[in-house]
Chains A and B, each alone.
Chain A
Amino acid sequence: GENVEQHPSTLSVQEGDSAVIKCTYSDSASNYFPWYKQELGKRPQLIIDIRSNVGEKKDQRIAVTLNKTAKHFSLHITETQPEDSAVYFCAASIKEGTGNQFYFGTGTSLTVIP
């Protein structure tokens, strides 16, 4: 099956700096890569996603890049703010049977220091 690895497990940045979280996947058939933000005790919420036919996608301060050849994708947060502090999960989705299966990374705990 698919294996998703995520690094780093913890990340601290000064407010206003950029944060980068990286994920790798193993199955070249994976074709959809969402990123989730989870605040303590709350549900994971989708913040950005990218499909395998696109190399980069941006939404205000958040961007995701995908390198299909190397099988890795990254989340970039610019001009970080204290409210960006949370756990971030990457995922890779692959079609299995009649639907899609999602494989998650182990998460990155981001702390933005004011």
Chain B
Amino acid sequence: DIQMTQSPSSLSASVGDRVTITCRASQSVGTYLHWYLQRPGTAPKLLIYAASSLQSGVPSRFSGSGSGTDFTLTINSLQPEDFATYYCQQTYSTPLTFGGGTKVEIK
């Protein structure tokens, strides 16, 4: 199985901050790496697919980069609705695996 490790596991930030979350795969996943946002009590929402493609309807302050084993999600100018938990997922091979999540909290 490909293990996905996110860092940090949590962070505190203020509205307007730039936030970066990293995801590392235990082996290469090419660009089959996707990012989701999950607010409490709701289903996850796709933000970025194929490492850097912005999903339709997602604000342009979200961006993704990376390939192989190292990936980043960047949120420019954090907004109140962005305080949530973020997950990366690899779909290079089954079993599909998710990272452990990064909780973004209000400072």
**A, B co-complexed:** no
